Amino acid sequence: MKLTYWGHSCFSVSCIGKTILFDPFISPNHLASQVKLDQVKADYILISHAHEDHIADAIALAKQTGAKVVSNYEIILWIQKHGIKNVHAMNHGGAIMLDCARIKYVNAIHSSSFSDGSYGGVPGGFVVETPEGSFYYSGDTALTYDMKLIGECTRLRFAVFCIGDNFTMGVDDAIRAAEFVDCEKIVGVHYDTFPPIKIDHAQAKAKFKEAGKQLFLPAIGSTIEI
């Protein structure tokens, strides 16, 4: 499977000719200034929660791509208020079938409000099962024992975890999470964008290696095979 990293927690995964984009936050990200929004393609846009660093470009990219936006009920109401009609609302524990994947909205421990302070529903993550393999995107979350359920139910090819600490799991908890979901290949997100979440890349990779796991930190704008 191919994963393209767009910076912070924004990435896209291609499967059976379709592109699923997660948590679009590109134009305000000073680390992603080389990325132009019109490079970004999507058939589906999945949003984990309402914080600005996960939805800043959601409206613009939904309009640009015509992609279906999938998120929790409260975020979908907000998306619809911005004139986007191609949407699908979910809530925790629910799964839907898209043409390329089965998507399940799963627990995250975090908060979720829009930039004006209004309620963004309860934050979540996504388990994505495709004919080419399955993966789990944690969203912004603390380490939680609920992650064990994901490992028990789905054989994961890789997982995408927040690793920047301060607002979410740090490296040590992300390694624990990788053990909980029984997955060797982890793509790190939600690090370096802001001063409190800067990490030491070499040290983070070494810690994962020591635990028998592999940490991928793709360059912004790059595509990896995973």
Nearer to Ni ion, 124 or 151 (CB): 124
In this complex, which beta carbon is closest to Mn ion, that of residue 130 or of residue 137?
A: 137
CB 164 to Mn ion: min, Å: 9
Cβ neighbours around 135 below 10 Å, total: 27
Non-local CB neighbours of 212 within 8 Å, separated by 6+ positions: 184
The residue behind tokens 């995250």 is: 108
Chain residues 126-165 in contact with Mn ion, contact rule CB under 5 A: 140
| Cβ nearer to Mn ion, comparing 130 with 141 | 141
**Interacting span for Mn ion (CB under 5 A) from 44-52, 60-68, 153-161, 193-201:** 44-52
User: Rounded to whole angstroms, how far apart are CA atoms 145 and 219?
Assistant: 30
Range in contact with Ni ion (rule: CB under 5 A) among 14-22, 51-59, 63-71, 86-94:
51-59
Which residue, 101 or 191, is less far from Mn ion as judged by CB? 191
Indicate the residue among 140 and 192 with the shorter CB distance to Ni ion: 140
Nearest alpha-carbon partner for 110 in 5, 220, 9, 3: 9
Q: Which is nearer to Ni ion, 48 or 154 (CB)?
A: 48
Query: What's the closest the beta carbon of residue 86 comes to Ni ion, in angstroms?
Result: 25
Q: How many residues bind Ni ion (CB under 5 A)?
A: 2
Written as one letter, the residue type at 133 is: G
On the 0-12 / 13-18 / 19+ scale of CB atoms within 10 A, 152 is: exposed
Q: Which of residues 99-158 bind Ni ion (CB under 5 A)?
A: 140
Contacts of 118 (CB under 8 A, 6+ apart): 78
Q: Compute the least distance from the CB of residue 28 to Mn ion, in Å.
A: 12
Q: How far is the CB of 58 from Ni ion (least distance, A)?
A: 14
Cβ atoms of 128 and 134 closer than 8 Å: yes
Q: Does residue 53 interact with Mn ion by CB under 5 A?
A: yes
**Should residue 23 be labelled a site residue for Mn ion when binding is judged by CB under 5 A?**
no
Considering only 51, 68, 190, 213, the residue that binds Ni ion (CB under 5 A) is 51
The label of the residue with tokens 């982890």 reads: 186
Work out what residue 23 binds among Ni ion, Mn ion, none; the CB cut-off runs from 5 to 8 Å by kind.
Answer: none
Does residue 126 contact residue 137 with C-beta atoms inside 8 Å? yes
Beta carbons within 8 Å of 30's beta carbon, 6+ residues apart: none
Indicate the residue type of 186. Answer: I
Binding stretches for Ni ion (CB under 5 A): 51, 140
Binding stretches for Mn ion (CB under 5 A): 51, 53, 140
